[in-house]
Amino acid sequence: MNEGKPSSTVIVVGAGLVGLSCAWWLQRRGHQVLLVDAADAEAGSLAALGVLMGHVFHRTSGRAWRLRQQSLTLWQAWRQELAGRGRPIAWREGLLLVATDGEEAQRLRWLQAKRHQQGIDLEWWLPERLAALTPAPPGPASGALHSPMDGQLDPRQAMDALHSDGTARGLTTRTERVATLERRVARGGGWRVVLASGMRLEAEWLVLSAGVNSETLLNPLQEQRAGVERRQLEPVLGQALELELTPPVAAGGWNWPGALVWQGMNLVPRPDLPGGRRFWLGATLEPGRQSDPQALAALRTLGGSAPTWLGEARELRRWQGLRGRPAGRPAPLLEQLAPGLLLATGHYRNGVLLAPATAQWVAEQVEAGQNR
């Protein structure tokens, strides 16, 4: 909690998982928070499968590495805290990265060695061990790297848990499109959010986590001479599927050690769903806002490598969403663009993983600003 410090008023724009995490964490630390979002169907959170690739990240140092490690620790603490208040978030331990050729196997073995030097143990699986999995994974494979501390959580369940818990703590939400942002000059500064209805909301701090829509809201501030530089976000659409095995998996059930990654595509067993034989498959990478049926077909067949059971699986639903990829800058965009204005967006494919670390960064900026 933010004990001993005065609370700040904060408006968070964007109620995807990142924005919701920021709002929940700020509220938990004692600040007065209003979360505003138009319930945009293109929110990047809708495309997320919740695969958390922290230890199998290809870098071994730097900001991106530190954010991932911080988030893995925070997600564990957040899940325990929320479960203790009756708001559990489904979590499946383990992540298996399959090498489809010798070159990829060499890269993954190098990563295993680097992680061992850092005190993180990853396990190398030989092809015969992969062959013992049920149902059979895609193949042929040169081996696989297993990360027991990475895993997958349900993004929708996480959002529901954070929203209900935040509301119980006093978090206020408003479902309406934001028309413009304005810098407040009088009464000690701060920011004003003008909604589509004309209503004006004011706060000391403004956190912008609106994904690809963040750029649209920021651009007019240049004309207002608010001292805010342009930040470009490229939309990348992702499509995903929920499938069901027909016939069902063998009596022993799924014995995969968590989610499986095959050439950048994620297969996520969901034994917690009705019937115990459902799984998620996704997500595509399609520049722009228009979905491509051919990209979805390639996903459905794993580019021609799908095992028989995957080809015969029954489609239950499909969904899509937009992810914002920063142009010319590393993801995510965590910046204080002007006094009281925080940009926390552009996470691209790692919004679910990096949501807690982003929320922590936002809270640190707000609370550091209180001491100035």
**Given this model, what pLDDT does residue 72 score?**
96
114 lies in the same domain as 244: yes
Res 271: pLDDT: 81
Residues 264 and 312 in one domain: yes
Amino acid at 347: H
CATH of the domain at 180: 3.50.50.60
Indicate the range of 24-33, 133-142, 179-188, 278-287 predicted with least confidence.
179-188
Question: Average of pLDDT values for 290-311?
Answer: 95
Hey, how many other C-beta atoms are within 10 angstroms of the C-beta on 329?
A: 13
Q: Which helix (H) or strand (E) holds 50?
A: none
Return the pLDDT at 250. 63
| Range of weakest confidence among 18-27, 160-169, 179-188 | 179-188
CA distance 230 to 244: 45
- Of 343, 361, 356, the closest CA to residue 20 belongs to 356
Q: Tokens at residue 89, please? A: 């978030």
pLDDT tens digits, one per residue of 308-347 = 999 999 999 999 999 999 999 999 999 999 999 999 999 9
Q: Tell me the whole-structure pTM to 2 decimals.
A: 0.95
Q: Say whether both 102 and 36 belong to one domain.
A: no
pLDDT at residue number 255? 92
Regarding whether 227 and 334 lie in a shared domain, the answer is: yes
Are the beta carbons of 32 and 7 closer than 8 angstroms?
yes
Mean pLDDT estimate for the chain: 92
Query: pLDDT confidence of 42, banded at 50, 70, 90?
Result: very low
Question: 179: which residues sit within 8 A by CB, 6+ positions away?
Answer: 194, 195, 196
| Calpha distance 284→298 (Å, rounded) | 9
Tokens of 223: 């004309």
**Which percentage of the chain shows pLDDT scores above 90?**
83
Of 147, 193, 160, the closest CA to residue 10 belongs to: 193
As a whole number, mean pLDDT of residues 150-179 equals 96
Judge whether residue 43 has pLDDT over 70: no
Instruction: Provide the CATH number for the domain around residue 321.
Output: 3.30.9.10
CA distance 305 to 299: 10
Alpha carbon distances (Å) from 70 to 189, 308, 323, 358: 32, 39, 22, 10
How many contiguous H segments (helices) and E segments (strands) does the chain have? 9, 19
Q: Cα 306 to the chain's mean position, in Å?
A: 26
Q: How far is CA 361 from CA 71, 79, 89, 140, 319, in A?
A: 11, 19, 23, 43, 30
- 187 pLDDT above the threshold of 90: no
Q: Are residues 287 and 268 in the same domain?
A: yes
Residue 317: which domain range? 95-148+235-325
Identify whether 118 is part of a domain.
yes
Per-residue pLDDT at 44: 66
Compute the distance between CA of residue 53 and CA of residue 208 in angstroms, rounded to an integer.
25
**Maximum separation of any 2 CA atoms in the chain, in Å:** 70
